[in-house]
Structure 1
Amino acid sequence: MMIFTWMNLFPALLMIFCGFTSFISSRKHLLNILLSLEFIMLGIFLMFMVMLSSFSETFLSLFFLTLVACEGALGLSMLILIVRTHGNDCFNSFSILQC
């Protein structure tokens, strides 16, 4: 059983911070945005696992993983739809109002 300390949360918080910085810095390509969102979700999942390991509660983490997988599948399907209709995933090549 792992004891909850703030030092155990540091890698998760670092992952979330790096995900946010890559999300802010890569606004032009949809695939980079989706990858940074998945990295943020991975950091949040790691934080959940560290915080819930002392309570031995795994149902919430499995529910969160299910939602993250659905979000990833929805994002990839939107990416495929945009690439098929517009030719690439660059935001400069199409208007948001046309999609």
Structure 2
Amino acid sequence: MYISLMVLVFLLSFVAMLNFISNQSHFLMTLLSLEGITLSLVLYVPISLSMMNAPNASISVMLLTLGACEASLGLSLMVLMSRSYGTDLLKSLTMNKC
């Protein structure tokens, strides 16, 4: 049972990374891909720790906290960028404006 869950989580992370590499034009799609990678990590760590009979409660909560911080920072950056530039396209960002 654990092996099938591990394969499913690996496929989820692979699809999220593939989506992150292929869709780099919109900032929202990049954020969604990063959230998929974070979700697969949150699912992978407790499964792998339970296979090794290690305590996993604190690590799972820490990963969820870091995922929530990542999401809030990403959304605030997206709101700031859409208010400043009027779009969420990553092509509109240049190093001269930063």
TM-score (norm 2): 0.88
1:64 maps to a residue whose letter is: L
CA RMSD of aligned residues (A): 1.6
**Judging changes above 3 Å, is the alpha-carbon distance between structure 1 residues 47 and 76 closer, same or farther for their aligned structure 2 residues?**
same
Q: Which residue of the other structure, out of 10, 13, 19, is the alignment partner of 1:16?
A: 13
1:30 is aligned to 27
Match of 2:83 in 1: 84
The change in CA–CA distance for 1:47 and 1:92 in structure 2 (over 3 A counts) is same
CA distance in 1, matches of 2:93, 2:79: 15
Equivalent in the alignment of 1:65: 64
Aligned sequence identity (%): 35
Q: Which runs of 5+ in 1 are unaligned?
A: none
Decide whether aligned partners of structure 1 residues 95 and 31 sit closer, same or farther in structure 2, where only a CA change above 3 A counts.
Answer: same
Displacement over 4 Å in runs of 4+: none
Mapped partners of 1:7, 1:35: distance in 2: 25
For structure 2, which runs of at least 5 residues remain unmatched after alignment?
A: none
Aligned residue type for 2:26: H
Q: What pairs up with 1:42-57 in 2 under 5 angstroms?
A: 42-53=39-50, 54-57=53-56
Amino acid across the alignment from 1:51: S
User: TM (normalized to structure 1)?
Assistant: 0.87
Q: Distance in 2 between matches of 1:38 and 1:88?
A: 21
What is the SS of the residue equivalent to 2:12? helix
Decide which moves more: 6-15 or 20-29.
6-15
